[in-house]
Amino acid sequence: MADDPIPTAKSPTRLDLEAGTYFWCACGKTSHSPFCDGSHKGSGIQPRKFEVTEKATLALCQCKATKNPPFCDGSHRNL
């Protein structure tokens, strides 16, 4: 059975990301939030791979309640 995700903050983090492939931490155990560092091993929760096609400023979820991972959808307002 999967562990429950651990919120790392109650608000999103806004980052300027270059084009590339990223892995968003879905478990909340990473020490490099919002990105995966492999700490999910054994949790039953896998990171979310996402692609950025061109440089962009994105709001990434840190509360782990978003319905649109890895992006913030405002779910933190209801926690």
What confidence tens digit (pLDDT) does each residue in 64-73 have?
999 999 999 9
What confidence tens digit (pLDDT) does each residue in 6-59 have?
999 999 999 999 999 999 999 999 999 999 999 999 999 999 999 999 999 999
For residue 64, tell me if it sits in a domain.
yes
Number of folded domains that form the chain: 1
For residue 54, tell me if it sits in a domain.
yes
Global pTM value? 0.92
**In the block, which residue shows the tokens 């995700």?**
5
The DSSP-derived string for 20-76 is: EEEEE-SSS--SSTTB--STTTTSS---EEEEESS-EEEEE-SSS--SSTTB--SGG
